[in-house]
Structure 1
Amino acid sequence: MLARGMLARLASEVPKTSTHNLSRVHLLQRRLFSNGLRAVSAGAGARVYNALLGYGKSYATAAATKPAPKAKKVVKKPAAKKPAAKKPAAKPAAKKAAPKKKPVKKVAKKKAVPKKAAKPKPKSKPRVKKTPEQLEKIKIKATKEHALSPPLLPGAVTAWNVFFSETLTGNHDRDPGTALKAASVKFKALTPAEKEHYNHLGNERTAAKRAEFEKWVRTHTPEQIRQANLARAWLRKKLTAPSARRRYVPLVDDRLLKMPASPYLRFSNERRATGDFKAIKVIEAVKLIAAEWKVLSDAEKKKYLDAYQAQRVEYEKKYLKTYGHAPGRKAAA
């Protein structure tokens, strides 16, 4: 009876037992059978057995047939955009204290002077080609500027010049021709003592005149005087009037260097100094001297050539020192 009651409670509690207690039920069943529960009817044992099997099957099928709950899809809602955090406004930099400006004195503005209207430029005249005569005049004018104009020329003042100037003093109303004739008659009638007096006055005036001329020459360089003499030589060839030829005589300057005489000129001067050609015309004397030069041997000509070469070397040294360049070359600009 005790065994039946236990089995009955076990059978009634089997459905409530969890799956992990099945092993214990089977173990209990074996023990019951081994402890004398053989008197238990076969039907009761079968019911207990079937109940245990049915519990296992019903549990398995229930677990298999019961559909698993569908997993709900979780749709994430888009997160609401958070308003952007406002950046804190930058603090304005502290202004540096501006340096104190010195008070500027106000200068009274000058009143603007109204500009004069520009005069229209005159139309340029078409260039006209100059004739050769006009070009020649322009060249002569430019050469006269290079020739220089001394205040006076260092010519000698004679006794006649002094006497004639005194005769004309205070007699401007007289005819020049008549005055000249009367002065010449009086000058011839002068005594030797009177002529000596006028010669003395002429020499004094000549010395004063030359001193004034030399003073003017010193205001120019030797190169300027040399260039002026070249211009004067060109003008004497171009201008045919006697007054122009007298006006543009060479300027005398002791600073100017004289070129050494050539060997032939040395021989000619030497022959003229002998006096063999007195009372002979110059042209005839030149022909005779040239014939004698041609007849001379090289040994006889050598002394004149050596003297010329020695003076030529000294001349080039002095020329370079005075003018700053060698003879025959243009001065540096």
Structure 2
Amino acid sequence: MLSAIGRAAVKRVVAGGPQSTNRTFQTIWQLQRVALSQRADNDASQSHPWLQSKRSYVTASKATKTTKSKSSTTAKPRAKKGPAKKVVKKPLKRAAKKTVKRGRPALKKKPVKKPVKAKKILTEEQKKKLAVKQERALIKELKIKALTPPKQKPRTAWSIFVSKELANTAGKPTERMGTLPDKYKAISPSELESLNHIANQNKTANVVAYKQWVESHTPDQIRIANNARLALKKKLNKTSGYPAIKDSRLPKRITNARALFTKDRYASGDFKGISLSDASKLLSSDWNSLSPSERKAYTDRAAADTQRYVQEFKTVFHRDSTAQT
């Protein structure tokens, strides 16, 4: 029952004497327990071999798990993502329109016609006042279109002398004007020379100022102004006061065949000393007595002058002329 270690221990106790008997039994009892437990373990291991295999399996599985866990901790390369799949949107189903029962269409209201105001019948006196009012408005508009040229300086020695005397003497202008002719005749040659010099300077200044004023307007504005001036002469029955504005940019008017013939006849000197009324009678007789070939020469010249006017008109006004070529 006792192992080699136990038997050796018993021998030592027996040899020791009776004092250690109790201690000896305690030691023997402990040794027997140890021996029994070892034997039981040996028997159990021999009688149940599957336990050993199970233990080995458990240790092996633990080892594999640890290796797997270690390998799993190592960074795996990310798999390459393929192209994203296109999401195909399904067509939305439209809700079916509810059929609404329509009632009878509402009757359109007929537009109410406004009553036409009866025209006021004017009396003869009212018609005359209205015509005068319209004529005044037209004249006012024509004056605006006619343009106002710059004020001219005195251009003669006499006009300069008068302006100076009226500025230096007191009294009514009509009374002072009565004595001015005698004073002008009594001035010295040096004073007259000075007045003439001022007059010549004023002429030059007037030409420059007038040209600058004309060129400050377009050729079309000057053309409209001349037409307005001609209309004012006819309406106001004035032969002066609204002379035509001279503009070198404007095309010269067309000269017809009869005017060309008259110009040639006056240039010949045959009508020197003859009055205008008598000359016009002679010119009319000479024109009517021309042969067809002689008259054709003037009509051809007139046609060429018309062509010249049409071209100049288009160049200046940037539009076609209504003149017949």
1:137 counterpart = 2:136:
yes
Correspondences of 1:281-320 after superposition (within 5 Å): 281-320=275-314
TM-score (norm 1): 0.54
Aligned mates of 2:121, 2:133 — CA distance in 1? 12
CA distance change for structure 1 residues 156 and 307 in 2, over 3 Å: closer, same or farther? Answer: farther
Letter in structure 2 aligned against 1:168: L
Q: Structure 1: which 5+ runs fail to align? A: 1-125
Correspondences of 1:1-333 after superposition (within 5 Å): 131-152=130-151, 157-171=155-169, 173-190=170-187, 194-240=191-237, 246-328=240-322
Stretch moving more, 260-269 or 144-153 = 144-153
Aligned mates of 1:234, 1:188 — CA distance in 2? 42
Q: CA offset at residue 188 of structure 1? A: 2.9
Compare the two structures and name the one with the higher helix fraction.
2
Q: Structure 2: which 5+ runs fail to align? A: 1-118
Contact 2:310/2:320, CA 8 A, preserved across alignment:
yes
Letter in structure 1 aligned against 2:278: E
Contact 2:149/2:213, CA 8 A, preserved across alignment:
yes
Matched residue of 2:163: which SS? Answer: helix
Give per-residue Cα distances to partners, 1:242-272, cap 9 Å, x unaligned: 5xx5332211111111123211111111211
CA distance change for structure 1 residues 178 and 222 in 2, over 3 Å: closer, same or farther? Answer: same
Aligned mates of 2:131, 2:161 — CA distance in 1? 48
Aligned mates of 2:280, 2:199 — CA distance in 1? 37
Aligned mates of 1:271, 1:319 — CA distance in 2? 29
Matched residue of 1:169: which SS? Answer: helix
Aligned mates of 1:326, 1:287 — CA distance in 2? 38
CA distance change for structure 1 residues 194 and 262 in 2, over 3 Å: closer, same or farther? Answer: farther
Contact 2:154/2:160, CA 8 A, preserved across alignment:
no
User: Aligned pair count?
Assistant: 199
Letter in structure 2 aligned against 1:136: E
Q: CA offset at residue 194 of structure 1? A: 4.5
- Identity of counterpart residues, as a percentage? 34
TM-score (norm 2): 0.55
Contact 2:219/2:317, CA 8 A, preserved across alignment:
yes
Give the aligned CA root-mean-square deviation in angstroms: 2.6
Give per-residue Cα distances to partners, 1:170-214, cap 9 Å, x unaligned: 11x233233223221222344556544423321210221221121
Aligned mates of 2:193, 2:295 — CA distance in 1? 49
Aligned mates of 1:191, 1:263 — CA distance in 2? 54
Aligned mates of 1:224, 1:257 — CA distance in 2? 14
Q: CA offset at residue 296 of structure 1? A: 1.0
Matched residue of 1:320: which SS? Answer: helix
Aligned mates of 1:197, 1:147 — CA distance in 2? 36
Give per-residue Cα distances to partners, 1:62-83, cap 9 Å, x unaligned: xxxxxxxxxxxxxxxxxxxxxx
Larger radius of gyration: 1
